Amino acid sequence: MPGRRFSYRSGMETPADHLPGTHLLVDLYGAAHLTDAAALERILCDAAGAAGATIIATHFRVFPGAAGVTGMVLLAESHISIHTWPELGFAAVDIFMCGAADADAARMALEAAMAPTRAEVVAVARGQARDQRNQ
């Protein structure tokens, strides 16, 4: 809601569009591209775009012996990161968005591109008192 502000115990106030936001912990099983750093970088950047987020920087690293990829897309709104275990057919993804960026839109874009056979998602509302989450 525009103009809405939240007060914290510190006495500081934060506009609603600058709240810490949603953190999705996404486990992907049977996903594609688990050893392809270039593809994963493109997929995570596309997910950031789908969320309406602003990319600041990216960094991806392939581990030797096809042991997986770790990568990070740093956003003005926070980050999207991935770590893969190709030997298990598994990827762990963090999608943390604040402000108006849409973490779930990022998740849907990522899942569409990686085509997992199964996905498990835990959503955490960061930096919000329990009573504020229900407003």
Catalytic annotation on 98?
Answer: yes
Q: Compute how many other C-beta atoms are within 10 angstroms of the C-beta atom of residue 68.
A: 21
Q: Is residue 132 classed as helix, strand or coil in its secondary structure?
A: helix
Strand order through the sheet with 90-97: 55-62, 69-75, 78-85, 90-97, 21-29, 118-126
Catalytic annotation on 83?
Answer: yes
Task: Look at the alpha carbons of 32, 93, 18, 131 in this order and tell me if their dihedral is positive or negative.
Answer: positive
Catalytic annotation on 81?
Answer: no
23, 33, 78, 79: the catalytic one is: 78
23, 33, 79, 98: the catalytic one is: 98
Q: Which residue numbers are catalytic?
A: 78, 83, 98
